[in-house]
Amino acid sequence: MSETIKLKPTVLILCTGNSCRSHLAEGILRQEAGDIITVASAGSKPAGYVHPLAIKAMNEIGIDISAHVSKHMNDFLSQPIHTVITVCGNADQACPTFPGQVQRHHWPFDDPAHATGSEDEQLKVFRRVRDEIRAVFGAYAAGLRASLG
């Protein structure tokens, strides 16, 4: 008797730079639903790094994204992507259709990388955006769980 290996559906989160918002969302969604989906993030114009204040803001809620790397969305064009979620307008406009893509959502958030002022003032913006992303992606994860019945 052969066993069929069922792969978890992949959710790809896109933003422009893949340095802040998409990594915040990736870390949160992986924590909330990583047992039922595969989560990845990428950018249309990757910055080449994950913003240190994004890492710090996530550490405050017990999620370590320090090993994340900035990736280009084209790296995923040959992979089956079930759901694409864009978290900024530029990525939404630049987003291609991925093989096997079933769903697409656009949930825009402010870019905390544009925050100004002292590091503490900037971190407040990162925390706000993190918490907004946590609310939306937490609800999304809960919906995924409910749909599995």
Residues annotated as part of the active site: 15, 88, 95
Measured at the alpha carbon of residue 137, what is the angle toward residues 118 and 8, in degrees to the nearest 5? Answer: 130
Residues 59, 28: Cα–Cα separation, whole Å: 11
DSSP designation for 81 = -
114 closest CA partner among 51, 39, 41, 32: 51
Hey, which residues does 1 pair with through a beta bridge?
A: none
Taking a C-beta distance cutoff of 8 angstroms, is the pair 58, 29 a contact? no
HSE, CB side, 13 Å, CA atoms: give it for residue 27.
27
HSE, CB side, 13 Å, CA atoms: give it for residue 113.
18
